[in-house]
Structure 1
Amino acid sequence: MKTVELKILCVLFFTVFASAQVPMTDFDLGKMAGKWYLVGFATNAKHFVKTYKADMKMGTAMLVPTEDGDLDLSYTHLKSDGSCFKLKNIAEKTEIPGRFVFYNKRWGNDNDMRVVDAKFDEYAIVHTIKTKEGKSEVLNKLHSRTATITDDLKEKFRQFCLDTGILEENIAILTKNGEC
């Protein structure tokens, strides 16, 4: 009896994990356009908690659709020394709406990015699989149209992160910060 229960549990786990990686069915590239605040960040990268989590603060993202249907991604955040960190990539569309791929020159990794949930005038949850030298890591981001989010949205993001295999201590709701 326990073997059957274990098999059912495994099937349910893999179904939830697989569905969490599927882009949303009603993705609208035009509605992703504009300014977003990066308010949540979570990863299964081993170095995250020790190296980055304590110092991370909210940043902004400008998402601009290109004529070809790709997505111009520009991220900035104000560092503690007053300088600006900037990161820019062009995420190329795939045959699946809401799924994009790009190579990040700064970090030297391939990125498979999927918009998995969004209410475009409020929030977007983005799930990215980053691969470098044959090793993959998961990165989830919570984007919001405002710098303040509800407790319900925080919980939604937290649960999504747990469902995609990220430990609780690797989930960060970022504190407000000045803008670049």
Structure 2
Amino acid sequence: MKTTPLLMLSALLCTLATCINVTPPADFNLEKMAGKWYMVGMATNAQWFVIHKATMKMGTTMVEPTVEGDVNGTSANLNSDGTCNRMARLVEKTETPGRFSFRAHPWNIDYDLRVVDVVYDSYAIVHINKITDTADVSEVINKLFSRSPEVSAALQDKFVQFALDTGVLRENILILPKNGECSPHM
């Protein structure tokens, strides 16, 4: 069998980019994603994460599907001084259920977000590609969400393996320490 240059290039690119299936589940159900989630894990080789990971703690995210099939997401993290850091974002649906996109306009950054593994009453693993207008390579960000602040060792291992499979270095995979929650009025 002849090895074509295109086949060799494909194999090399697959090896360098760490080939992994990051496709949402075929039976993805946005309505079942609604409600409160704890962000219990994060994994990325991004420089901002490497600098700040020692101070990061667990936070919450409220997922609210819209009539159009988009998602209003509100994240909240309690700071050590008792203040609350909140961020709200509308992520827009794509043609693929379980895949969403949004743009951070001040920084001209596009995000491709995919729910890649989910048990709706338990956990969700989310894979995000961050793509800037000037970057040759996108950043990969993986997040582990849970319906409770407690996650099993088996789920932690599953998340760690997924992050490694997407090219994140082991030292940049973090199961976040528990934290207090922001009150609704903070």
Q: CA deviation at 1:106?
A: 6.5
1:90 is matched with 90
Deviation of the 1:17 alpha carbon: 2.4
Aligned residue number for residue 81 of structure 1: 81
SS of the residue corresponding to residue 47 of structure 2 reads coil
Provide, for residues 57-78 of structure 1, a one-character-per-residue CA deviation record: whole Å limited to 9, x for no partner. 0000000000000011110100
- Decide whether the 8 Å contact of 1:89 with 1:104 is kept in 2: no
5 Å-filtered alignment, 1:130-141, equals 130-135=130-135, 136-141=138-143
Aligned residue for 2:145? 143
Deviation (angstroms), 1:98: 0.3
For the residues of structure 2 that align with 1:13 and 1:67, how far apart are their CA atoms? 41
Provide the rounded CA distance (Å) in 2 between the counterparts of 1:107 and 1:73: 19
Aligned residues: CA RMSD: 2.2
Letter aligned with residue 170 of structure 1: N
Q: Quick one: distance in 2 between partners of 1:137 and 1:24? A: 22
Give the Å deviation of 1:103. Answer: 1.3
2:30, 2:104 → 1: CA distance? 21
Q: Which residue of 2 aligns with 1:67?
A: 67
- Name 1:115's counterpart in structure 2: 115
Aligned amino acid, residue 155 of structure 1: D
Q: Report the AA paired with residue 70 of structure 2.
A: D
State the distance in 1 between where 2:26 and 2:113 align: 15
Contact 2:42/2:143 (<8 A) preserved? yes
- Contact (CA 8 Å) 2:25, 2:98: kept in 1 or not? yes
Contact 1:129–1:138 (CA<8 Å) still a contact in 2?
yes
Look up the equivalent residue of 2:158 and give its one-letter code.
Answer: K
For residue 167 of structure 2, the aligned residue among 152, 165, 168 is 165
Contact persistence 2:33–2:120 (CA under 8 A): yes
Q: Name stretches of at least 5 consecutive residues in structure 1 with no aligned partner.
A: none
5+ unaligned residues in a row in structure 2: which ranges?
none
With normalisation by structure 1, the TM-score equals: 0.88
* Residues 148, 107 of structure 1: alpha-carbon distance in 2 compared, 3 angstrom cutoff: farther
Larger Rg: 2
**Cα separation, partners in 2 of 1:107 and 1:74, compared to 1, 3 Å:** farther
- Partner Cα distance (2:107, 2:57) in 1: 19
| 3-state SS in 1 of match to 2:19 | helix
Contact 2:18 2:167 in 1 (8 A): no
Identity %: 51
1:154 to 142, 153, 156: 156
Q: Which amino acid aligns with 1:133?
A: D
**Are the equivalent residues in 2 in contact too, given 1:37–1:143 (CA < 8 A)?**
yes
Conservation of the 8 A alpha-carbon contact between 1:39 and 1:58: yes
What displacement does 1:82 show? 1.1
**Counterpart in the other structure of 1:46:** 47
How many angstroms apart in 2 are the aligned matches of 1:172 and 1:60?
16
